[in-house]
């Protein structure tokens, strides 16, 4: 922590517990479509959208933002505009109301602690993250998605991390990336030449990862001033 000048966070599974959110979303989805069985195809669209992205680690553009919906369209089986509408509602809008209650314990305090030390905060997610951050009441100096025009590459391609480091006028080695998946976030950091941590798999009620990091930060600062 002594050499870190910026901490870059992944979002999903890193800042909040995905299983906690998914349980809430499952209830809402079942309640909604139980009354609208003629629209069950929309649940297949959501499933396909996720699976098509998971099949393409490291995929690159151009125009990755629109390409991801075309992947799901299945050669015209689902109209692209319909795919976009369903995904936007159930993945990027509706879940946000639950995010604050799913944020890992200690996250807000850790953000405050590193900001107080003049350490920059970056966000790098494969998905758009501005609205999620607002819902979680978290702020960053720079927020980047893999589907931004400046990136157009999914993890584990390192373009997003390198872009953030350059935008902050820092070397990759001066940044710390925190993610939740070794095969994506860890590999992405390795390819960027950036130190990284993978979030501990702990139950939500006993999650101490960020509290431990904050304590490590304070300990490091204390030893530096002695």
* Tens digits of pLDDT across the chain (226 residues): 788 999 999 999 999 999 999 999 999 999 999 999 999 999 999 999 999 999 999 999 889 999 999 998 876 688 999 999 999 999 999 999 999 999 999 999 999 999 999 999 999 999 999 999 999 999 999 999 999 999 999 999 999 999 999 999 999 999 999 999 999 999 999 999 999 999 999 999 999 999 999 999 888 877 665 5
Measuring CA to CA, how many Å separate 1 from each of 120, 182, 194, 207, 224?
Answer: 13, 20, 13, 21, 11
pTM: 0.94
Could you give the number of structural domains in the chain? Answer: 2
Rounded distance, CA 126 to CA 110, Å?
23
Same domain, residue pair 66 and 169: no
What is the length of the chain?
A: 226
User: What one-character-per-residue DSSP string does 166-197 give?
Assistant: HHTT--GGGEEEEES-IIIIIHHHHHHT--EE
pLDDT of residue 226: 54
Rounded distance, CA 162 to CA 133, Å?
21
pLDDT of residue 2: 80
The token pair that represents 97 in the structure block? 């109301």
Residue 147 lies in a domain: yes
Paired strand residues for 175: 6
Helices 64-73 and 80-87, packing angle to 10 deg: 110
Report the half-sphere exposure of 25 (CA within 13 A, side-chain side): 20
The token pair that represents 111 in the structure block? 């953000």
Same domain, residue pair 11 and 24: no
CB-based contact 17:102 (threshold 8 Å): yes
Same domain, residue pair 14 and 94: no
Rounded distance, CA 102 to CA 54, Å?
23
Last residue of a domain, one of 98, 124, 147: 98
Same domain, residue pair 77 and 166: no
Same domain, residue pair 152 and 43: no
Same domain, residue pair 31 and 111: no
Task: Give residue 118's region: left, alpha or beta (phi > 0; psi -120 to 50).
Answer: left
Last residue of a domain, one of 55, 71, 98: 98
Residue 69 lies in a domain: yes
For 105, the domain range is: 6-18+100-225
Same domain, residue pair 125 and 163: yes
């Amino acid at each position: 922590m002594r050499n870190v000048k910026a901490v870059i966070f992944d979002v999903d599974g890193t800042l909040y517990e995905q299983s906690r959110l998914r349980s809430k979303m499952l209830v809402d989805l079942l309640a909604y479509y139980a009354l609208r069985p003629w629209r069950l195809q929309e649940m297949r669209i959501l499933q396909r959208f996720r699976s098509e992205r998971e099949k393409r680690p490291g995929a690159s553009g151009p125009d990755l933002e629109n390409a991801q919906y075309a992947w799901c369209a299945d050669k015209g089986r689902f109209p692209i505009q319909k795919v976009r509408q369903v995904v936007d509602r159930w993945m990027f809008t509706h879940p946000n109301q639950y995010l604050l209650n799913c944020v890992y314990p200690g996250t807000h305090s850790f953000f405050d602690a590193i900001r107080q030390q003049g350490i920059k905060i970056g966000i790098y997610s494969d998905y758009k993250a501005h609205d999620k951050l607002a819902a979680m009441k978290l702020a960053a100096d720079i927020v980047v998605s893999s589907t931004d025009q400046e990136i157009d590459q999914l993890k584990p391609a390192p373009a997003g991390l390198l872009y953030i480091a350059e935008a902050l006028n820092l070397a990759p080695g001066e940044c710390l990336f925190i993610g939740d998946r070794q095969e994506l976030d860890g590999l992405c950091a390795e390819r960027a030449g950036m130190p990284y941590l993978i979030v501990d798999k702990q139950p939500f009620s006993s999650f101490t990862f960020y509290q431990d990091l904050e304590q490590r930060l304070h300990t490091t600062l204390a030893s530096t001033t002695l």
